[in-house]
A and B are shown apart, each in its own frame.
Chain A
Amino acid sequence: MTRWIKIIVALILLAFLIAAPSLLNSFYLRVMGEVLIFAMLAMSINILLGYTGLATLGQAAIFGVGTYVVGYMTTKLGQPMYVTVPAGILGTLIVAAIFGIFAVRTSGIYFLMITLAQGMIIWGLAFRWNSVTNAENGIRGIDRPEWLAEYSAYYYLILVVALVVFALIYRIINSPFGLTLKGVREGERRMRTLGYNITLHKFLGFMVAAFFAGLAGSLYAFHNNFVSPTTIEFARSAEALLMVILGGTGTMLGPFIGSFVITFGQNEFSLYTDRWPMIMGAIYVVTILTAPDGFVGAWRRFYNWMSASRSAEPPKQQIDHILVAGKEVESPENLQSPTEGSTTSSDLRRVDV
């Protein structure tokens, strides 16, 4: 039953995404393209936050390395897209490797602080390194090749890449490697005792996430035709993290939902008010206080509650431990339910320092 609902919803969504160029005007089609790009960024954060238990506040900067490399190579070196995009990803991976080596030795709040500082350092570099990045003026005129000049054509490229990324990430998190990452999230020490090289796995997780962020960032260069330090500032990283949490940490669909809500919200509100940061801050506060497991988590709770009241059975215990504020809670359900997603509703509360 649930399976069928899922498939039907997915098909409707897919049909909408494919039909979007004929359904939406050019402004909203661009917004949809942006939703897909930021969904990829959010998915990359989700690999770290949702499946490895590492909260990063520097992912937009990692993403921005891709954007800057593509921007620089396109405008100043005149390279074609099939060169610049791989170069953008490669550049991202190099920077991520340098940062990752230091970041993955820590976890919890320390990881968060270090990625935050690293992201801001990339921002500082973009802001000051005038000869390469044009400082605050940014790099303008990152033009798409002829065959993608029409935005709808580029939209389809983004859509195809996003779907492939979705499938790849699904594959990765359900692979033995993905299960190891989840093991790290659930109990680092236990995994270490079992003989896993935790630091290496965290590093690989960091690199996989950086790969997808770099890909998204490279595509963003041609989407926006422009990159400036604002693209990679701290607020963007925090926004991308919010997308994951708002949608539902550790779920496949969550990042899409989060990206949709935040990107659309930002574009809509910006038409009427300059106060978007305030609205975003408020969404942050409300999400954390009322639904730290996001839309998907709230839906699951609602769904469980519905099915529980229908069958008059006692409600599933699955989410009880979220309600326990405070110490890390070891709930036996968590260890027994290997199904994807069902163990993740309380991630926010379970990150150990």
Chain B
Amino acid sequence: MSSTFLILQILNGITFGALLFLVASGFTLIFGLMRVANLTHGVLYLLAGYVGLTVVRETDSFLLAVVAATIFAGVLGFVIERTLLRHVQGAVLSEVLLTIGIAFILADVALMQWGGDPQTLRVPALIGGPIRLPGIVYPRFRIVTLALGVIIGGGLWYVQNKTRIGSIIRAGVDDPEMVSALGINLPVVFTSVFVAGAMLAGFAGVIGGGFLSLYRGADSEILLFGLVVIIIGGMGSLKGAIIGSLMVGLLDSFGKALYPEISYFTIFGPMAIVLAIRPRGLFGRKEGQR
């Protein structure tokens, strides 16, 4: 293994990890507060990516695409939470199954509207193209993704730990009844968090559209990676999402390079080990400790 190969794979792993973090953070945010495993997350990513793709094609503005796709995903999330999920609130299994049904419908809409062939979102020259690093030439957009991951991660950490909204959310995780009793409108908090999570999925979709590409099945593929990240890191934990996405990103990058035929298995191994030691993931909470 040459050092260039090593550096390249590490960079690939970390930057892919950053994209995974964008996906997983929204999922884990929703799960942490609402205990809803939102399986529409992958399809929100895909649909928003497609919306971004169309906006870039029409207006040639990447920034506008990011804004439009993020808002689109947020609105869709709002509708899903308000019109459907609300009816089965608290019934854990029904919630998941409902999101599966919605995911199938939306994925089919995406297929109908945009077709199934891979399409890549065109990234402007300012953040696209190659960048020269010592010893290697590397896609600039991947480095930008890494920076975005760090910024979003930092922002989420700040909101969760340093603001009033963050303390309401943390308190809502621990003791929803008490939070309501203190006069906080928890349903509004729930909806807001759900919308925020959906917007993160949408944002990730645009980035992922430029980073990977968008195609039929990209939704379940990214959902798989997101799930493994969260299973390893622990559902509902921001710290877990960071560690998990770095692990999965690196493992996948090395797995794909070294054992391309069985690359999915390289992420299963570590997942199994983590589960064997900590069934709830590295930073997951124990039952009854909610």
User: Quick check: B101 and A327 within 8 Å, CB to CB?
Assistant: no
- Smallest beta-carbon distance A293→chain B, Å: 11
List residues of B (240-290) whose CB comes within 8 Å of A's CBs.
260-265, 267-268, 271-272, 275-276, 279-280, 287, 290
- Smallest beta-carbon distance A297→chain B, Å: 13
User: Quick check: B94 and A285 within 8 Å, CB to CB?
Assistant: no
Nearest chain B residue, comparing its CB with the CB of A119: B224
User: Quick check: B108 and A113 within 8 Å, CB to CB?
Assistant: no
Q: A241-B97, A289-B84 are in contact. Are A353 and B92 (CB under 8 A)?
A: yes
- Of the residues A105, A125, A130, contact of B279 by C-beta under 8 Å: A105
- Of the residues B94, B105, B112, contact of A348 by C-beta under 8 Å: B94
Q: A281-B102, A285-B102, A289-B87 are in contact. Are A110 and B280 (CB under 8 A)?
A: yes
Contact with B along A226-256 (1 / 0, CB 8 A): 0000000111001001100100000000000
Nearest chain A residue, comparing its CB with the CB of B256: A128
User: Quick check: B97 and A284 within 8 Å, CB to CB?
Assistant: yes
A179 in the interface (beta carbon within 8 A): no
Complex Cα spacing A57 to B102, Å: 16
B171 in the interface (beta carbon within 8 A): no
Complex Cα spacing A120 to B267, Å: 11
A131 in the interface (beta carbon within 8 A): yes
List of A residues within 8 angstroms of B158 by Cβ:
none
User: Quick check: B108 and A288 within 8 Å, CB to CB?
Assistant: no
User: Quick check: B275 and A125 within 8 Å, CB to CB?
Assistant: no
Nearest chain B residue, comparing its CB with the CB of A105: B279
User: Quick check: B224 and A117 within 8 Å, CB to CB?
Assistant: yes
List of B residues within 8 angstroms of A326 by Cβ:
89-91
User: Quick check: B108 and A348 within 8 Å, CB to CB?
Assistant: no
A145 in the interface (beta carbon within 8 A): no
List of A residues within 8 angstroms of B107 by Cβ:
277
Q: A114-B275, A128-B260, A285-B84 are in contact. Are A353 and B35 (CB under 8 A)?
A: yes
Chain A binder among B47-55, B64-72, B226-234: B226-234
Which of B93, B102, B108, B111 has the most chain A CB within a 10 Å cutoff?
A: B93
Complex Cα spacing A105 to B102, Å: 29
User: Quick check: A113 and B37 within 8 Å, CB to CB?
Assistant: yes
Question: How big is the A interface, by class?
Answer: 35 or more
Q: A113-B37, A117-B227 are in contact. Are A130 and B261 (CB under 8 A)?
A: yes
Contact with A along B106-140 (1 / 0, CB 8 A): 11110110000000000000000000000000000
Q: A105-B275, A125-B265, A128-B262 are in contact. Are A288 and B103 (CB under 8 A)?
A: no
Nearest chain B residue, comparing its CB with the CB of A103: B275
B96 in the interface (beta carbon within 8 A): yes
List residues of A (312-353) whose CB comes within 8 Å of B's CBs.
325-327, 347-349, 351-353
List of A residues within 8 angstroms of B103 by Cβ:
281
User: Quick check: B264 and A278 within 8 Å, CB to CB?
Assistant: no
A6 in the interface (beta carbon within 8 A): no
List of B residues within 8 angstroms of A112 by Cβ:
37, 93, 96
- Smallest beta-carbon distance A277→chain B, Å: 4
- Smallest beta-carbon distance A319→chain B, Å: 15
Contact with B along A124-165 (1 / 0, CB 8 A): 110011110000000000000000000000000000000000
- Smallest beta-carbon distance B79→chain A, Å: 13
Q: How many B residues have CB within 8 A of the partner chain? A: 49
User: Quick check: B109 and A124 within 8 Å, CB to CB?
Assistant: no
Q: A55-B93, A105-B275 are in contact. Are A278 and B104 (CB under 8 A)?
A: yes
- Smallest beta-carbon distance A287→chain B, Å: 8
Q: A105-B279, A128-B260 are in contact. Are A349 and B108 (CB under 8 A)?
A: no
B192 in the interface (beta carbon within 8 A): no
List of B residues within 8 angstroms of A131 by Cβ:
261
User: Quick check: B276 and A102 within 8 Å, CB to CB?
Assistant: yes
A261 in the interface (beta carbon within 8 A): no
User: Quick check: B271 and A117 within 8 Å, CB to CB?
Assistant: yes
Complex Cα spacing A353 to B235, Å: 12
User: Quick check: B100 and A284 within 8 Å, CB to CB?
Assistant: yes
Q: A284-B98, A288-B97, A348-B93 are in contact. Are A277 and B235 (CB under 8 A)?
A: no
A121 in the interface (beta carbon within 8 A): yes
User: Quick check: B89 and A284 within 8 Å, CB to CB?
Assistant: no
User: Quick check: B262 and A109 within 8 Å, CB to CB?
Assistant: no
User: Quick check: A128 and B263 within 8 Å, CB to CB?
Assistant: yes
Q: A120-B220, A234-B220, A325-B91 are in contact. Are A275 and B227 (CB under 8 A)?
A: no
Complex Cα spacing A351 to B100, Å: 17
List of A residues within 8 angstroms of B228 by Cβ:
117
A44 in the interface (beta carbon within 8 A): no
User: Quick check: B91 and A348 within 8 Å, CB to CB?
Assistant: yes
List residues of A (190-247) whose CB comes within 8 Å of B's CBs.
233-235, 238, 241-242, 245
List of B residues within 8 angstroms of A128 by Cβ:
260-264
**A–B Cβ pairs within 8 angstroms, 13 of them:** A102-B272, A116-B227, A121-B268, A128-B263, A281-B103, A281-B106, A285-B101, A285-B105, A288-B97, A288-B98, A292-B94, A325-B89, A352-B92
Residues of A at the B interface (CB closer than 8 Å) are: 55, 57, 98, 101-102, 105-106, 108-110, 112-114, 116-118, 120-121, 124-125, 128-131, 233-235, 238, 241-242, 245, 275, 277-278, 280-285, 288-289, 292, 325-327, 347-349, 351-353
Given contacts A113-B230, A128-B261, A234-B220, 13 further A-B contacts (CB under 8 A): A55-B97, A105-B279, A106-B275, A108-B92, A125-B262, A129-B262, A238-B100, A241-B97, A277-B107, A281-B108, A351-B93, A353-B92, A353-B287
